[in-house]
């Protein structure tokens, strides 16, 4: 069996790994345990009591305060104890502020109140053109407007496509006005 290129690559990778392991063991490895190199088990010397490993003791002021500043959790607990907050006064960062939410609710209502009935439909028909309708068996469908395929629920020109019928599409303007656009006509009709 001839040795293929992939076998040569595998052999090269294994050789490089063995070389790296050897260099690591020779230069960066831990000192060998006594008796490990000779293959015979010998008893390790017991360290003197003076050389016993002891845990460092924190400074007395840290122990006296009952906190440990070396760990983040200890620092956070100490900060929380020194800076109490009222949980009822903390705002949920994922909830919009009342002023911002009110501003969003007021815009569509103001736009609907100032616009004349049918104005959104007339403005939409001047800027956009319905060229085709694709009906779906599940009650959804698509409409081709301005050369772009839109599924029910998608928007064009700020108006959302809500339904398609044979030769027409129903849309809802940002102000809440519902209207119907027909294929090839200039005038939209109010949705029934």
The pLDDT, as a whole number, for residue 33 is 54
Task: Say if residue 57's pLDDT is above 70.
Answer: no
At 68, is the pLDDT very low, low, confident or very high (cuts 50, 70, 90)?
low
Alpha-carbon distance values, 131 to 78, 84, 92, 93, 145 (Å)? 68, 64, 47, 45, 6
Q: What is the Cβ-side half-sphere exposure of residue 164, based on CA atoms within 13 angstroms?
A: 26
Residue 62: strand, helix, or coil? helix
Mean pLDDT of 71-98: 79
24-33, 37-46, 85-94, 133-142, range with greatest mean pLDDT: 133-142
Alpha-carbon distance values, 133 to 97, 128, 158 (Å)? 42, 14, 19
Stated pTM of the model: 0.38
Alpha-carbon Rg for the chain, nearest whole angstrom, is: 38
The pLDDT, as a whole number, for residue 14 is 96
The pLDDT, as a whole number, for residue 9 is 95
Residues paired with 130 in a beta bridge: 145
At 192, is the pLDDT very low, low, confident or very high (cuts 50, 70, 90)?
very low
């Amino acid at each position: 069996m001839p040795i293929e290129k992939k076998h040569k690559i595998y052999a090269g990778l294994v050789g490089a790994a063995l070389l790296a392991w050897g260099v690591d063991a020779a230069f960066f490895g831990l000192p060998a345990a006594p008796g490990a190199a000779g293959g015979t088990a010998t008893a390790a010397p017991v360290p003197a009591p003076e050389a016993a490993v002891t845990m460092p003791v924190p400074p007395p002021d840290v122990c006296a305060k009952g906190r440990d500043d070396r760990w983040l959790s200890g620092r956070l607990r100490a900060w929380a104890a020194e800076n109490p907050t009222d949980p009822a006064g903390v705002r949920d960062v994922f909830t919009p502020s009342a002023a911002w939410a009110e501003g969003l609710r007021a815009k569509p209502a103001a736009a609907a109140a100032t616009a004349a009935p049918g104005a959104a439909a007339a403005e939409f028909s001047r800027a956009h053109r319905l060229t085709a309708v694709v009906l779906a068996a599940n009650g959804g469908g698509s409409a081709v407007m301005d050369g772009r395929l839109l599924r029910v629920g998608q928007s064009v020109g700020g108006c959302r496509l809500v339904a398609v019928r044979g030769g027409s599409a129903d849309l809802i303007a940002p102000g809440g006005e519902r209207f119907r656009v027909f294929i090839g006509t200039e005038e939209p009709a109010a949705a029934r």
